[in-house]
């Protein structure tokens, strides 16, 4: 079966890279509490490693407080340990099955670290988008070489693909800029 060029498929793959970036950025801590902050936390439960949202309800009752209501009393200690070991700089306080997680003030150094981490995530997303573009361009060249499309078609579709790529890179840059503004806001 011959491969067919699909701008929609390439666009979908680029959108996936942007969506991944947005979820990674949502997990970066800003001055406000967010349930997304605990998304990377995995808990040892029932012989498996599961996301924290599968063992309890996560809430943000205050601007600087996250709570986790653990459903199974036996897992409260495991959830506490998972949050402490996740490298987020958080120290939960246990109250039975409820964990209260106060968010400390972000200092300037930590804000800069978070900005750098956001930039690293954005660069990974840009690379993913460029890889999709490269796959599309390679396919167009192959189709033209095999005389399935004309040289003019190859150039036209290549220009379209570059425009789609540029739009996704712009989305990535604006998402990063917005997150950096949020992080640096005191």
Q: How many CB atoms lie within 10 A of CB 109?
A: 8
Each residue of 72-127: pLDDT tens digit? 888 888 999 888 887 777 888 988 889 998 887 778 887 888 888 889 999 999 99
- Are 47 and 113 within one domain? no
- Are 117 and 174 within one domain? yes
Within a domain: 67: yes
- Are 68 and 134 within one domain? no
- Are 14 and 47 within one domain? no
CA distance 64 to 100: 10
Position 27 confidence tier, pLDDT thresholds 50, 70, 90: confident
- Are 98 and 114 within one domain? no
Where is the domain boundary, 53, 75, 102?
A: 102
Alpha helices, H only, 51-150: 76-85, 108-145
Higher pLDDT, 3 or 21: 21
- Are 90 and 56 within one domain? yes
Percent of the chain scoring above 90 in pLDDT? 39
Position 38 confidence tier, pLDDT thresholds 50, 70, 90: confident
Encode 15-35: b = buried (16+ Cβ within 10 Å), e = exposed.
eebbeebeebbebbbbeebbb
Give the residue-averaged pLDDT of 38-47: 84
CA distance 54 to 48: 11
User: Is 70 exceeded by the pLDDT of residue 128?
Assistant: yes
Within a domain: 1: no
Each residue of 156-185: pLDDT tens digit? 999 999 999 999 999 999 999 998 888 887
Within a domain: 2: no
Where is the domain boundary, 51, 67, 102?
A: 102
The per-residue pLDDT for 1 is 36
The per-residue pLDDT for 48 is 86
Domain total of the chain: 2
CATH number of the domain encompassing residue 124:
1.10.132.20
pTM equals 0.68
Cβ partners under 8 Å of residue 169, min gap 6:
126, 129
- Are 122 and 72 within one domain? no
CA distance 23 to 15: 12
CB 50 within 8 A of CB 43: yes
- Are 15 and 47 within one domain? no
Q: Domain range for residue 87?
A: 32-102
């Amino acid at each position: 079966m011959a491969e067919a060029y699909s701008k929609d498929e390439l666009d979908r793959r680029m959108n996936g890279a942007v969506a991944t970036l947005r979820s990674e950025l949502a997990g970066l801590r800003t001055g406000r509490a967010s349930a997304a902050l605990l998304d990377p936390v995995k808990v040892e439960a029932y012989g498996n490693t599961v996301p924290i949202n599968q063992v309890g309800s996560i809430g943000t009752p205050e601007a600087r407080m996250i709570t986790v209501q653990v459903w199974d009393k036996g897992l409260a200690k495991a959830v506490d340990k998972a949050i402490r070991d996740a490298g987020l700089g958080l120290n939960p306080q246990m109250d039975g099955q409820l964990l209260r997680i106060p968010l400390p003030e972000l200092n300037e150094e930590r804000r800069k670290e978070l900005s750098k981490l956001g930039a690293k995530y954005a660069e990974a997303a840009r690379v993913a988008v460029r890889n999709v573009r490269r796959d599309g361009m390679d396919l167009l060249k192959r189709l033209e070489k095999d005389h399935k499309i004309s040289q003019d078609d190859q150039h036209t579709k290549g220009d379209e693909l570059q425009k789609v790529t540029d739009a996704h890179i712009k989305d990535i840059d604006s998402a990063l800029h917005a997150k950096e503004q949020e992080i640096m806001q005191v």
